[in-house]
């Protein structure tokens, strides 16, 4: 009885310490569901739908996935409006139906089967990991928010499948700045501004890697300052691996294409939805904070913090010491500790070989073991108070 009380008291005090930690980012996966196709594909087909939300405490972004899973499509997942959209903060801006395509050897990886979709971090940071089953490559995307952030950081990673060659990689982004003009029979005045230049509607802006580090998409007609539209949006573009690109500033959709060196294996972007902001406020934000946000994006380590900080040998030593100090109270936990250490060792080898799914599995194992270690620490203190 006494030991149970100590365990509870210790766990509560540790929980209170955790609860005092300041800013929390929440990442939520709403799970998978299947619906009969309406607009996405032909009648009678079954469409896979998913969504995930990141909330930095100040701004909330939702990502919606849709792909027809009819067996006739094989690993392909057609969906008429696109596969990965951003329905919130607003349906306009980064398009709710599909704002992102990643063309590997000219074929969109995002339109292939989802191999992995899960929250890999929530709390100090929030991260959703998605892996797509392109026939020539494994494409991973991590969408992350930091506490208090107004934008999403995206880490892309591609690896060729055994025997396949990646000859080209391009990321294509679709936005409807502030308002769905043509669909609502209105005329706007779109622009894409960068730190270097500004391109008006009906022009194509050729991007200069390293200079056009943010792309600011706005509409001078649909500006909340004039009581019109939702407000603008923007992208951050990290220059690593980028060879060029262009923004086709249409009167309706604005399409951005970013070309990457296939052997770079990685790309980093940021996404802002400034809905609710005036154009002037968003412009001022990017001029003031764009460089700082870019620095954060470039320096980002998207591995789950539990994995980044993990040293399996130190974990083994700590577990051994706690089991010794816990004495008889620790014995019932010996097998769980051994299982954990065996799984962590095996996963760590896959992580070191660059496997994102193993990284996520390892992060989950370590998080799930927190409760086990709290109990062992409490028993160790109880049985070895001076230790
Ligand atoms: Zn279909």
Tell me, in angstroms, the distance from the centre of ligand 1 to residue 260's CA: 31
Tell me, in angstroms, the distance from the centre of ligand 1 to residue 221's CA: 38
Confidence at 353, pLDDT banded by 50, 70, 90:
confident
- Structural contact between residues 186 and 179, judged by C-beta atoms closer than 8 angstroms: yes
Residue 65 predicted with pLDDT over 60: yes
List, for residues 111-164, the tens digit of each pLDDT value: 999 999 999 999 999 999 999 999 999 999 999 999 999 999 999 999 999 999
pLDDT at position 77: 98
Tell me, in angstroms, the distance from the centre of ligand 1 to residue 169's CA: 26
- Structural contact between residues 233 and 177, judged by C-beta atoms closer than 8 angstroms: yes
Among the residue ranges 120-129, 243-252, 279-288, 376-385, the one predicted with the least confidence is 376-385
Tell me, in angstroms, the distance from the centre of ligand 1 to residue 48's CA: 10
CA distance 75 to 136: 12
List, for residues 235-276, the tens digit of each pLDDT value: 999 999 999 999 999 999 999 999 999 999 999 999 999 999
CB atoms within 10 A of CB 4: 9
Largest CA distance in the chain: 77
**Tokens 């055994």 found at:** 162
List, for residues 169-228, the tens digit of each pLDDT value: 999 999 999 999 999 999 999 999 999 999 999 999 999 999 999 999 999 999 999 999
CA distance 272 to 278: 14
- Structural contact between residues 121 and 52, judged by C-beta atoms closer than 8 angstroms: no
> Could you tell me which residue, 386 or 192, shows the higher pLDDT?
192
- By C-alpha distance, which of 302, 303, 301, 313 is closest to 363? 303
Tell me, in angstroms, the distance from the centre of ligand 1 to residue 228's CA: 38
3-state SS string over the chain? CHHHHHHHHHHHHHHHHHHHCCCCEEEEEEEEEEEECCCCCCCCCEEEEEEEEEECCCCEEEEEEEEECCHHHCCECCCCCCCEEEEECCCCEECCCCCEEEEECCEEHHHECEEEEEEEECECCEEEEEEEECCCEEEEEEEEECCCCCEEEEEEEEEECCCCCCCCEEEEEEEECCCCCHHHCCCCCEEEECCCCEEECCEEEECCCCCCCEEEEEECCCCHHHCCCCCCEEEEECCCCEEEEEEEECCCCEEEEEEECHHHCEEEEEEEECCCCCHHHHHHHHHHHHHHHHHHHHHCCCCCHHHHCCCHHHHHHHHHHHHHHHHHHHHHHHHHHHHHHHHHHHHHHHHHCCCHHHHHHHHHHHHHCHHHHHHHHHHHHHHCCCC
pLDDT at position 325: 94
Q: Tell me the β-bridge partners of 123.
A: 25
CB atoms within 10 A of CB 338: 13
Tell me, in angstroms, the distance from the centre of ligand 1 to residue 80's CA: 10
Angle at 69 between CA 67 and CA 72, to 5 degrees: 125
pLDDT at position 385: 73
Instruction: Over range 266-289, report the average pLDDT.
Output: 98
pLDDT at position 384: 79
Tell me, in angstroms, the distance from the centre of ligand 1 to residue 77's CA: 7
Tell me, in angstroms, the distance from the centre of ligand 1 to residue 96's CA: 20
Q: Which domains does the chain have, with CATH numbers?
A: 32-302 (2.70.98), 306-383 (no CATH)
pTM: 0.91
Tell me, in angstroms, the distance from the centre of ligand 1 to residue 174's CA: 23
Tell me, in angstroms, the distance from the centre of ligand 1 to residue 65's CA: 15
Confidence at 1, pLDDT banded by 50, 70, 90:
very low
List, for residues 19-55, the tens digit of each pLDDT value: 555 679 999 999 999 999 999 999 999 999 999 999 9
Tell me, in angstroms, the distance from the centre of ligand 1 to residue 73's CA: 7
- By C-alpha distance, which of 299, 307, 262, 311 is closest to 129? 307
**Mean pLDDT over each residue of the chain, to the nearest integer:** 94
Tell me, in angstroms, the distance from the centre of ligand 1 to residue 107's CA: 18
Tell me, in angstroms, the distance from the centre of ligand 1 to residue 72's CA: 7
List, for residues 79-104, the tens digit of each pLDDT value: 999 999 999 999 999 999 999 999 99
| Separation in Å, CA 334 to CA 329, 338, 376 | 10, 6, 10
Tell me, in angstroms, the distance from the centre of ligand 1 to residue 81's CA: 13
Tell me, in angstroms, the distance from the centre of ligand 1 to residue 142's CA: 27
Report the share of the chain in percent with pLDDT over 90. 91
């Amino acid at each position: 009885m006494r030991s149970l009380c100590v365990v509870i008291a210790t766990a509560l005090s540790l929980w209170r310490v955790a609860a005092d930690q300041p800013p929390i980012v929440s990442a939520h996966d709403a799970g998978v569901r299947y619906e009969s196709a309406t607009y996405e594909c032909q009648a009678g087909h079954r469409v896979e739908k998913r969504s995930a939300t990141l909330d930095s405490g100040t701004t909330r972004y939702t990502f919606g996935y849709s792909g027809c899973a009819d067996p006739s499509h094989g690993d392909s997942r057609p969906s008429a409006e696109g596969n990965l959209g951003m329905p919130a903060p607003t349906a306009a801006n980064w398009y709710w139906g599909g704002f992102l395509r990643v063309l590997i050897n000219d074929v969109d990886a995002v339109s292939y089967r989802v191999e992995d979709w899960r929250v890999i971090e929530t709390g100090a940071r929030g991260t959703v990991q998605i892996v797509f089953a392109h026939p020539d490559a494994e494409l991973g995307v991590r969408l992350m928010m930091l506490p208090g952030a107004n934008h999403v950081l995206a880490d892309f990673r591609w690896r060729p499948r055994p025997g396949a060659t990646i000859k080209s990689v391009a990321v294509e982004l679709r936005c409807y700045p502030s308002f769905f003009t043509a669909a609502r029979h209105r005329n706007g005045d779109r622009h894409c501004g960068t730190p270097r230049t500004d391109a008006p509607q009906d022009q194509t802006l050729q991007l200069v890697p390293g200079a056009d580090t943010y792309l600011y998409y706005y509409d001078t007609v649909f500006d909340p300052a004039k009581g019109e539209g939702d407000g603008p949006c923007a992208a951050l573009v990290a220059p690593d691996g980028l060879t060029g690109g262009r923004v086709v500033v249409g009167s309706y959709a604005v399409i951005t294409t970013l070309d990457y060196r296939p052997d770079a294996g990685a790309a980093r972007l940021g996404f802002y939805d400034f809905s609710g902001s005036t154009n002037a406020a968003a412009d001022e934000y990017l001029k003031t904070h764009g460089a700082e946000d870019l620095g954060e994006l470039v320096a980002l380590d998207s591995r789950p913090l539990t994995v980044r900080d993990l040293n399996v040998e130190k974990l083994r030593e700590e577990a051994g010491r706690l089991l010794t100090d816990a004495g008889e109270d620790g014995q019932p936990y010996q097998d769980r500790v051994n299982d954990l250490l065996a799984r962590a060792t095996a996963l760590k080898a896959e992580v070191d070989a660059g496997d994102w799914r193993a990284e996520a599995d390892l992060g989950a194992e370590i998080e799930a073991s927190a409760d086990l270690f709290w109990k062992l620490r409490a028993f160790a203190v109880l049985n070895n108070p001076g230790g």
